[in-house]
Amino acid sequence: MNLNIETVTHDTYYEVKVGGELDVYTVPELEDVLVPMRQEGTKDIHVNLENVSYMDSTGLGLFVGTLKALNQHDKQLYILGVSDRISRLFDITGLKDLMHVNEGTEVE
């Protein structure tokens, strides 16, 4: 499955829109986008998963690594537009308590 990734740079954050399936095969594509953003450490990152139909633990791992890197720069990671199924993954793993996860596509 292919992964669609669109990025928009705003004044205070990067917006990353993802579509498709996030799994062991496609996560490296998203990692190639997120790693330079998180290493720069100058902006928050908003990842919109509204069009993601499936995500496994590899996707969760990428977000944990991104969160850790951003925390070193006092920046935030927002995971937006999550489906019920993906929201449950964040709940079960306890990650919903560590990062901003919203079913809506706007930061609350």
| Spatial contact of 82 and 103, defined as CB atoms under 8 Å apart | yes
- pTM value is 0.94
- Kindly give, in sequence order, each residue whose CB lies less than 8 Å from that of residue 60, ignoring residues fewer than 6 positions away: 89, 90, 93, 95
Helix 27-40 and helix 57-71, axial crossing angle in degrees, nearest 10: 10
Structure tokens belonging to residue 44:
């928050």
| Spatial contact of 3 and 29, defined as CB atoms under 8 Å apart | yes
What sign results for the dihedral spanned by CA atoms 21, 44, 7, 40? negative
For the chain, list the domains and their CATH numbers.
3-101 (3.30.750.24)
Q: What percent of the chain has pLDDT over 90?
A: 87
| Spatial contact of 50 and 17, defined as CB atoms under 8 Å apart | yes
What band does 105 get if pLDDT is binned at 50, 70 and 90? Answer: confident
pLDDT digits (tens, 9 = 90+) for 54-81: 999 999 999 999 999 999 999 999 999 9
